[in-house]
Amino acid sequence: MSRKGSDFAGLSVAIITPFRDGKLDVDRLKEQIEFQIESGTNCVVPCGTTGESPTLSHPEHERVISETIQISSGRIKVMAGTGSNSTDEAISLTEWAAKEGADATLQVAPYYNKPTQEGMFQHYKAISEAISIPICVYNIPGRTGKNIEPETIARIGEFENVTMVKEATGSLDQASQILALTNLTVLSGDDSLTLPLLSIGAEGVVSVVGNIVPRDMIAMVKAFLSGDAIEAQRWHHKLFPLCRDMLGLATNPIPLKAAMAEIGRDSGELRLPMTPLDETQLDSLRQTLSTYGIEAVAV
């Protein structure tokens, strides 16, 4: 069965927002997008959780999206993170992204205010009616405090431009229900669960570790989708320690930015309230990178 958002199948990478002396580092952003294009990544996702969107000002949020679209120049899809716990704000950000030329929008479930399931439905209904670009519903109750239940996602999925779900509940049961109830494309929201989710019908991943090893993530997804489960399992087991550290050592994107600094692809600079890894955590990360075969760059 062909699903609504299948053109976003494969690897999407939730890119970081690179900072230098507290400000957006556009040159580094360009380097990272070019790296993803060269690697064969299908889509980049600016201003998600990995992009530290909660700490970006509104002008910065809009600039990161605009710069990403301009740098990409149609060579790679852009799914702009424009969600909010305020429906009006989500619409405003999404209208901006659509005007700038975003290919889709990543819409996180309203966080902190914990709406009812009807509130969730009305939130996405309002966004869907206000814009025309494809919408990816981002369900991550560990961050937002409230799950969007499968039945609610099925209702939301009836809107023509709601085409995808970024599934980050950690529940294969929930993902299975969504796939059974809807025609939506399911994308894994957890790197380490990508292969299990592919096995039940997901079609790709919005990846954190893809910032570092996009070709390897692509190889795993392609192996499974081409019917080579053994090769896909081999990639899964190789990638797993790296995926684990990106989310397990500290809150995303702290370990990722540390890893990218180690390999010379970012300054590693974070914004408060995010703080760097301590020395024990950093030593553990270095060991994982070394074991994987990723060499650190001498400073």
Sequence-distant (6+) residues with CB within 8 A of 207 are 11, 12, 13, 14, 188, 191, 194, 214, 217
End-to-end CA distance of the chain: 51
Is 114 an annotated catalytic residue? Answer: no
d(CA 129, CA 160): 10
- For residue 249, the cross-strand partners are none
Task: Return the sign of the alpha-carbon dihedral for residues 158, 164, 170, 173.
Answer: positive
Contact 249, 286 (CB under 8 A): no
> Of the listed 166, 222, 238, 292, which one is catalytic?
166
Six-digit token string for 231: 């090769």
Residue 97's identity, in one-letter code, is A
d(CA 62, CA 65): 5
Is 138 an annotated catalytic residue? Answer: yes
Sequence-distant (6+) residues with CB within 8 A of 239 are 191, 192, 209, 213, 216, 217, 220
d(CA 217, CA 116): 36
Cis link prior to 255 (omega < 30° from 0)? no
> Of the listed 138, 238, 257, 292, which one is catalytic?
138
**Segments in the chain forming alpha helices (H):** 26-39, 58-72, 87-100, 117-130, 141-144, 150-156, 172-181, 194-199, 214-225, 229-248, 254-262, 279-292
CA 258 to chain centre: 18
d(CA 276, CA 260): 13
Q: Which residues are catalytic?
A: 138, 166
